[in-house]
Amino acid sequence: MLTVDFDRLGVVEGDRLLDLGCGAGRHTFQALRLGAEVVAADQSVADLRDVEAMVAAMAEEGEIKPPSAPVTLEADALALPFADGHFDRVIAAEILEHIPDDRQVIAELARVLRPGGTAAVSVPRRWTEQICWALSAPYHEVEGGHVRIYRGSELVSRLQDAGLRLDAKHHAHALHSPYWWLKCAVGVDRDHPLTRAYHRMLVWDMMSRPWLTRTAERALDPVLGKSLVLYLTKPAARG
């Protein structure tokens, strides 16, 4: 399940791409399929171990070119171990809402992006997220949980303050909003028949990508999309 549109991000073979807060690696895997040189950075050693194992399996199956170096890196998003302008593309999908000092993370992702490079940043959409918070405190009041709800204009302003230019935006994952509302209503830690059934539908949709649900989600994304996705450029330095 990809949140970022790689065509809009402009990923091409040979690009150096940072997947910041890579989690389970969904964007890392797609970037590798497109021939990018990827660094998948996260603080979760368990997640990084799983991502590296999947990368090895993909290479063994011939799905990707075997990377010349480990793809994963345990790193702090507040102080990235890269030189200025090191990456052609940066993805920060669904991580800023977890980090108290989000301005420092934004400054770091802008710093390591080369002039002329592009970034994709996504966060939960404001009104869909507000419903989750209203229905369930445990949804966000957990270690490592969501610490804020963004207004779209607020996030854009913070990214622009870091020197990035907004190029495009869209919403994604409309089918996931009702799932999380339902999960929050019945209890986020509760194994409920309704959430189990909905989750099975989502997995089927992701694996099979049937025409009906794909068309429905595209139509509903502008209204119900759970994620706000922004595409930005770091302007080239003027000579």
Q: How much is the pLDDT for 141?
A: 86
59-102 pLDDT, tens digit each: 999 999 999 889 999 999 999 999 999 999 999 999 999 999 99
* CA-to-CA dists, residue 220 to 3, 120, 168, 173, angstroms: 15, 21, 18, 9
Is 103 a residue whose pLDDT tops 90?
yes
Q: List beta partners, residue 19.
A: 40, 91
In whole numbers, what is the pLDDT of the chain averaged over residues?
95
pTM above 0.85, yes or no: yes
Q: How much is the pLDDT for 82?
A: 98
DSSP secondary structure, 165-228, as one string: EEEEEEEE-TTHHHHHHHHHHH-TT---HHHHHHHHHHHHHHHH--HHHHHHHHHHHHHH-SEE
Report d(CA 108, CA 77) in Å as an integer: 7
Report d(CA 180, CA 203) in Å as an integer: 14
Say whether 108 sits in a helix, a strand or coil: helix
Is 11 a residue whose pLDDT tops 70?
yes
- Amino acid symbol at 84: D
* CA-to-CA dists, residue 174 to 59, 124, 131, 153, angstroms: 32, 11, 14, 21
CATH number for the region 6-125+143-173+226-233 comes to: 3.40.50.150
Contacts of 125 (CB under 8 A, 6+ apart): 152, 171, 225, 226, 227, 228
Asked if 124 and 94 touch (Cβ cutoff 8 Å), the reply is yes
- Tell me what the mean pLDDT of segment 165-172 comes to: 98
DSSP secondary structure, 20-50, as one string: ET-TT-HHHHHHHHTT-EEEEEES-HHHHHH
181-189 long-range contacts (CB < 8 A, ≥24 apart) are 181/128, 181/131, 181/132, 181/135, 183/136, 183/139, 184/131, 184/132, 184/135, 184/136, 184/139, 185/135, 185/136, 187/136, 187/138, 188/136, 188/138, 188/139, 189/138
- Tell me what the mean pLDDT of segment 22-27 comes to: 96
**What are the structural domain ranges in the chain?**
6-125+143-173+226-233
176-226 pLDDT, tens digit each: 999 999 999 999 999 999 999 999 999 999 889 899 999 999 999 999 999
